[in-house]
Amino acid sequence: MKTTDGSKMEGLLYKSTRTSKSGIVSSEAVVRGIAPDGGLYVPVAFPQIERTFDELSGYSYKKLAFYVMSKFFTDFDDEDLADCIEKAYDEKFDTPEIAPVINISDLYFLELYHGATLAFKDMALSLLPHLLTSAVKNLAIDKEIVILTATSGDTGKAALESFSDVQNTRIIVFYPKEGVSKIQERQMITQEGSNTSVIAIKGNFDDAQNGVKEIFSDKSLAKDMEANGYMFSSANSINIGRLIPQIVYYIHAYLKLMKYGAIDRGQKINIVVPTGNFGNILAAYYSHKMGLPVARLICASNENNILYDFLTTGVYDKRRELILTSSPSMDILISSNLERLLYDLSGNDPLAIQGLMDSLKEKGVFKIEDSMIKKLDMFYGQYATEPETFSTIEKVFKEHDYLIDTHTAVGCCVYGKYRNETKDDTPSVLASTASPFKFPAAVLCSLDPGYKGLDDFELIKKLSEVTGRQIPAPLKDMDKKPVLHDTVCSRDDMILEVKKILGI
Ligand SMILES: *Cc1c(COP(=O)(O)O)cnc(C)c1O
């Protein structure tokens, strides 16, 4: 394997968080998504940023993406990987910068919503189908890949959009009928592409996610799939093909801050991430493991503040009601990617992780050892209530003429609390995860409660009028597109729906 520095590097292997078995190559981890033992794949070591920040600061987003990702996908052909990146970050992004960094007041907003579905998941999902196709080729597999995904809103559309009509793939998306916004639902049920299926389930996101997990681990279904030339893979944020592309933009943001003169080379930054499944903030942690100078990782939750509780007490307790908030992509009680952090904090101890995950499954709660709690120091957890989220949107717009969505507002509000509490003035980057136009009701009503009651599509137009911002192209005329998917099923019938779609 060649590194981009030209030196020879051993192929990087991946192993499950729940066994001590030796590793597999990245292609296999990408294709499998989740490990057979239910664990998540993690790299056995973290490649380091070896080039200087001065040199990297001259790179385009795509070149930086290649530099970072070639260190993780070491069994991919260089040309293939470069081609994947080229296809992912194309004109579907509305700016060649891909991820602009905007300074507003004392915070740097890393805008991750310039892709096809206007949310940060495009950053990785636009790449995943291409990574998967290459990985299948690398492994000489002759099966059709079936992508099965549970979504709390944004992943679903981003995955559908990216896999639509990609050869030798099919995609099936489950979403909670009452747990996504009108716009998010509309985006999904109007999805084109002969290989796409979208199903609403009667239940919440965790029901959908658990249902998908069960389907993945159903042995008899696996046999039928095999016999019919299919194999499952996952587009969920547990796939390393999702996680690794997300590391890139934190390094990119760091280089931008250097360029803006906000930091000297080598100076530490803080990173604030509105968090749900813990994928995005884990990527920030991984960027730090690669050598990016990061001081604190600020984990922002909405009223589903399970991570805040965990970070402050070491107890993860999901025995509580899920609250539906105006930041639905963060309405989650099981943050799957936390398992990877725990694995790292435990000193790579699969038995410890197995114990914690068993406890979570059986009792709905786990507590980590004091030695692990100490290692959580780098993380700061806080949350924003609904009224705080709305007033943050209003304040940022009225004071700085800058429009943010509800998820970004949760992050922004939590950052304010952090500064007040700690007086830490380290330059800070906020992962801005969605366009405000994706959540027009909450955003517009934050500016002026008088708009309550309008439908989402009218709200988009009004939001544009009131703020003077243009409606992003993917949302224009969406209400006129035909509905192509209308199946609704119960949590227990998910597996039947999958069989029906695949004809097995
Ligand atoms: C998915 C999502 C999040 C949460 O990201 P995780 O990686 O699940 O923590 C935050 N904001 C938006 C808009 C999202 O779509």
Give the binding-site residues of ligand 1, using a 6 Å CB cut-off: 119-121, 154, 237, 274-280, 329-330, 407, 433-434
Strand, coil or helix: 488: strand
- Asked if 396 and 467 touch (Cβ cutoff 8 Å), the reply is no
Ligand 1 centroid distance, CA of 329 (Å): 5
* pLDDT tens series, the chain, 504 aa: 444 444 445 699 999 999 988 899 999 999 988 898 999 999 999 999 999 999 999 999 999 999 999 999 999 999 999 999 999 999 889 999 999 999 999 999 999 999 999 999 999 999 999 999 999 999 999 999 999 989 877 788 888 999 998 888 999 999 999 888 888 899 899 999 999 999 999 999 889 989 998 998 899 999 999 999 998 887 877 999 999 999 999 999 999 999 999 999 999 999 999 999 999 999 999 999 999 999 999 999 999 999 999 999 999 999 999 999 999 889 999 999 999 999 999 999 999 999 999 999 999 999 999 999 999 999 999 999 999 999 999 999 999 999 999 999 999 999 999 999 999 999 999 999 999 999 999 999 999 988 888 888 899 999 999 999 999 998 887 888 999 999 999 999 999 999 999 999
Which atom of ligand 1 is least distant from the CA of 274? 10
Which atom of ligand 1 is least distant from the CA of 153? 15
Cα–Cα distance for residue pair 225/486, rounded to 1 Å: 25
Q: Which residues contact 217 (CB under 8 A, 6 or more apart)?
A: 38
Instruction: Give how far the C-alpha of residue 478 lies from the chain's centroid of Cα atoms, to the nearest Å.
Output: 24
Ligand 1 centroid distance, CA of 119 (Å): 8
Contacts 24+ apart (CB under 8 A), 401-405: 402/102, 402/104, 402/109, 403/436, 403/443, 403/467, 403/469, 404/109, 404/432, 404/436, 404/443, 405/113, 405/432, 405/433, 405/434, 405/435, 405/436, 405/438, 405/439, 405/443
Output the six-digit token pair for 280: 């995005």
Ligand 1 centroid distance, CA of 356 (Å): 24
Beta bridge partners of 169: 145
Ligand 1 centroid distance, CA of 155 (Å): 8
> What is the total residue count of the chain?
504
Mutate to test the pocket of ligand 1, among 243, 329, 410, 438 (most ligand atoms within 8 A of CB): 329
pTM score: 0.91
Mutate to test the pocket of ligand 1, among 109, 111, 117, 121 (most ligand atoms within 8 A of CB): 121
- Asked if 44 and 383 touch (Cβ cutoff 8 Å), the reply is no
Ligand 1 centroid distance, CA of 224 (Å): 34
Cα–Cα distance for residue pair 341/141, rounded to 1 Å: 31
Which atom of ligand 1 is least distant from the CA of 408? 11
Instruction: Specify whether 121 is catalytic.
Output: yes
User: Residue of the nearest CA to atom 1 in ligand 1?
Assistant: 329
**Active-site annotation holder among 121, 157, 213, 256:** 121
What secondary structure letter does DSSP report for 436? G
